[in-house]
Amino acid sequence: MTDSRSDRFVRSHLKTRHLVLLVELGRHGSIAHAAQAANLTQPGASKLLGELEHALGVQLFERLSRGVAPTWYGKVLIRRAGAALAEMDAAHQEVMELLSGLRGRVGIGSVLAPATSLVPKAINLLKSRHARVHVSVKMSTSKVLVERLRSGELDLVVGRILDTAAADELHFEPLTDEPHLLIARSDHPLAGRNDLQLEELVRQCWVLPPAGSILRDRLTALFLSHGLEQPAETVETQDLPVVASLLMNSDMIVALPAEAVQAYLQTGLMAILPFDLGVSMDSFGIITRKRHQLSPGADAMLLALRDTAATMYPHYSKP
């Protein structure tokens, strides 16, 4: 099929039900289950899928004995279909906002440190300006959050762009890097010591992020570069309340940006151990989608993030 014929199909015949079916096929991996979720008959769903594959001239799904699996072409279509449906939902929401004053919903994702400081302060600022805007906050790794941003599930992300293949689709406003400090409870046996050595620290029980995370990799590199084994006693979690509880009730230690536990440091419940790890993360920043118009509520959230960041990070300059 020629490109012009494919273009005519997309512009003239591609229906919302095609998009819904693609998303549901990606979610369920079964034509029968996808048809049910999309309020279609199974023959109707198979016909729609056949129309798409014939029009585009590529196979979108492999037919397996127990369902279907998307090809690389299918994965592209599923992601784009999800984003298109999210755009339609956002358009409806935006119309409702314009009819009733600034309100509606905004979805924001954040990595750990800004989720405990920048984002809550920005939300408070937003609420002082536009009380009726509903804010949904998700905290996870940058990779997960950026994928949700690309699919239209989130409007904004405060994190890092780790996938260079996605960089062309995204706009990044750097805010600050994250020097990580060694944190423990204030009466930890090592608190106040000025002669700490890494060989001694590696024998402690560490709270570590999951394997494969940037911080975990950099801590691993730190130990290996000094000819040391990894800590033998570890607890693996990124859940800040769990981390705080573990530290407060044991002699465990953790590498975190001070920003993440500032309240505990200010009240004297936790302390920074006097040892320079020399570990920091790449700069995090505000991530949005290029060529995407934010809703009024999301745009107000972006402005609140920028205004708050300007008061927190001395090297940040608002666009």
Q: What pLDDT, in 10s, does the model give residues 292-314?
A: 888 888 999 999 999 999 999 87
Q: How far is CA 234 from CA 85, 112, 184, 204, 248, in A?
A: 43, 20, 14, 9, 16
Classify residue 93: in a domain, yes or no. Answer: no
Q: How far is CA 196 from CA 145, 201, 256, 307, in A?
A: 37, 7, 18, 40
Classify residue 319: in a domain, yes or no. Answer: no
Same domain for 17 and 148:
no
Same domain for 140 and 269:
no
Residue with tokens 């769990």: 242
Q: What is the pLDDT of residue 62?
A: 92
3-state secondary structure of 37: helix
Which tokens in the block code for residue 72? 């690389």
Maximum distance among all Cα pairs of the chain, rounded to whole angstroms? 73
Q: Which of 198, 196, 237 is nearest to 219 (CA)?
A: 198
Same domain for 168 and 138:
yes
Same domain for 174 and 185:
no
Q: What is the pLDDT of residue 197?
A: 93
Q: What is the pLDDT of residue 239?
A: 87
Q: Which residues of the chain have pLDDT under 50?
A: 1-2
Same domain for 235 and 210:
yes
Same domain for 227 and 295:
no
In this structure, what DSSP letter does residue 319 have? -
CATH number at residue 67: 1.10.10.10
What is the residue range of 36's domain?
Answer: 3-79
Q: What is the pLDDT of residue 2?
A: 46
Q: What is the pLDDT of residue 123?
A: 97
Classify residue 151: in a domain, yes or no. Answer: yes
Q: How far apart are CA 61 and CA 1, in angstroms?
A: 18
Same domain for 107 and 174:
yes
Classify residue 318: in a domain, yes or no. Answer: no
Q: Structural domain tally of the chain?
A: 3
Q: How far is CA 315 from CA 112, 159, 288, 311, 318, in A?
A: 20, 17, 20, 10, 10
Classify residue 142: in a domain, yes or no. Answer: yes
Q: What is the pLDDT of residue 25?
A: 92
Same domain for 290 and 156:
yes
- Length of the chain equals 319
Classify residue 55: in a domain, yes or no. Answer: yes
Q: What is the pLDDT of residue 1?
A: 43
Classify residue 221: in a domain, yes or no. Answer: yes
Same domain for 57 and 75:
yes
Same domain for 202 and 141:
no
Beta strands at 234-236 and 206-208: parallel, antiparallel or unpaired: parallel
Same domain for 185 and 173:
no
CATH number at residue 226: 3.40.190.10
